[in-house]
Amino acid sequence: MELTGAQIVIECLKEQGVDTVFGYPGGTILNIYDELYKHQEEIHHVLTSHEQGAAHAADGYARSTGKVGVCLATSGPGATNLVTGIATAHMDSIPIVAITCNVGLPLLGKDSFQEVDIAGVVMPITKHSFIVKDVTKLAKTIRRAFVIAKSGRPGPVLVDITKDVTANKTEFTPYVPKPVKPYTEEIEQKSLEKAAQMIQEAKRPFIFVGGGAVAANAWEEVRELAHKIQSPVTDSLMGKGVFSGTDPYYTGMLGMHGTKASNLGVTKCDLLIAIGSRFSDRVIGNARNFARNARILHIDVDAAEINKNVLVDCSIIGDAKEVLKKLNQMIPETEHREWMETIEELKAKYPLAYHQEGLTGPAIIEELYRQTDGEAIIVTEVGQHQMWAAQYYKYTMPRTFLSSGGLGTMGYGLGAAIGAKMGNPDKVVINVAGDGCFRMNMNEIATATRNNLPLIQVVVNNQVLGMVRQWQTLFYESRYSNTVLRDKVDFVKLAEAMGAVGIRVTKKEDLPGAIQEAIRLNTTVVLDCIIDSDDKVFPMVPAGANIEDAFDEADLAKKQK
């Protein structure tokens, strides 16, 4: 059958099982939006307040569902407004397909109105970027984009289409996509055998889980391995929920704001099993001294990550789930009682702790955990609140903690929460933001209310840029250059102006009731929680220091004396 390019885009999205897209229309993409109008019963379009919100929503949808997220934008500023969201997805290996439209082919390269080479702009921050100038190649390109986005190490793909291609016609043949198989081509038997031997020889093993284990759906295999070899488990920000935060083998997050038990434990271990981790600088600190007493086994789907940041003793390239399936069959059950006793002593000696009096960031997160029974999807912006959310909410399943880890994008969370709610309508979805982050994309509250989304926006409001202020306090002799936000903005009134419910919380004793009310109302709610400007995230490792040098408030007080 003969279809226009715009019709082909819609048919290809339907082929891929896409039922939700996020975007913002404009001149060059009007043909596609006209077709969306005709197919609104099959594909629900969420009109965001800003294209960046659309990219983050596609990201949040993908992280929380495991599907490919899709966003749409017009040419020029519409397309460039997607860039931060695409880069965010790229750094955290999240599968999204961004579809943009450009000026007509005769106008390309002439600095035409709203012309930007968006395929060139995003080349360093995508797995692949395409520009389609021939309608006969459109269907193949879109189908290929979805395969690239979700195969191997996932990531974003951009497809830019000239406007004339969306209007031109060609023959279209329907296609049933083949399932993308896990990447197993490079799993070598000798590497598996060496890894199994290292595990059996280890007296003090430690498992470190990253976002690759989430992408590979490997949580069952990770949990089986940990209990089979009696190993403690730590995770990165991206690996949250792969191993349950309520499991006694869990030691908390690793790295700059990880627990002392994890940081000291990894330093003491004799085998570190890293699964789906890229060894970010925020995790490893001083690379030369990271896990210096251990042999390192690295399991990752991306060969480029092996020996990139940390030299390892053995590596297995391939899908983490498939690798662990094989590895678990090769190793016997092992006991490490003495080692686990050491870990339990570390956990008992160095628990996460905060001031119990007054309303604080950790208190807010712990109350969210209690009121949701640990079953909510928690989304965060970036900063102190992000670290508190990682530290004090116990994640028992993957895809329930969504955060910008690699790029650290302020303004990520609200759009991502909208995407998560669209993909998980039966889940309680909560975005935790600092007041600085909330300001960046708070216009997306209008998107939530327009779509009648029951969404809870928690603003941890300390009237400063908290994490930057923390660094200024500790390392810049309290010179607070442009980090104080005290002004006349009223987030409760702002919420009400956008059609949401606003609730202000100033006392710790009022917090449980406020959260209960936010959940009960089943609408868009903004909780404005006022905390002290100088609350800090502890433990903390100074940038570039050894992870065992983590210090907390008590250590800081001793040092200052």
Residue 44: count other Cβ atoms within 10 Å of its Cβ: 15
Q: 277 near 210, Cβ under 8 Å?
A: yes
Rg (CA), the chain: 24
Contact in structure between 526 and 439 (CB atoms under 8 Å): no
Burial class (CB in 10 A: 0-12, 13-18, 19+), 507: exposed
Indicate the SS3 state at residue 159: strand
Number of helices (H), then strands (E), belonging to the chain: the values are 24, 20
Strand pairing partners for 380?
432
User: Which residues are marked as active site?
Assistant: 51, 113-114, 163, 467
For 473-485, b/e burial (b = at least 16 CB within 10 A) is: eeeeeeeeeebeb
Report residue 522 as tokens.
Answer: 């089943």
Q: Are 454 and 422 a contacting pair, CB within 8 Å?
A: no
Distance CA 384, CA 397 (A): 23
Alpha carbons 347 and 204: distance in angstroms, whole number: 16
The angle subtended at Cα 329 by Cα 226 and Cα 320, nearest 5°, is 65
Question: Cα–Cα distance between 200 and 204 in angstroms, integer?
Answer: 10
**Interhelix angle 384-392/361-372, nearest 10 degrees:** 40
Residues 6+ apart with CB under 8 A from 476: none
Q: Is the peptide bond before 539 cis (omega within 30 degrees of 0)?
A: yes
In terms of DSSP H, where are the helices of 230-372? 260-268, 281-284, 320-330, 337-349, 361-372
Quick one: tokens of 406?
A: 């690699």
Amino acid at 188: E
Q: Is the dihedral of CA 24, 125, 431, 425 positive or negative?
A: positive
Residue 230 CB partners (closer than 8 Å, separation 6+): 249, 334, 335, 336, 337, 339, 340
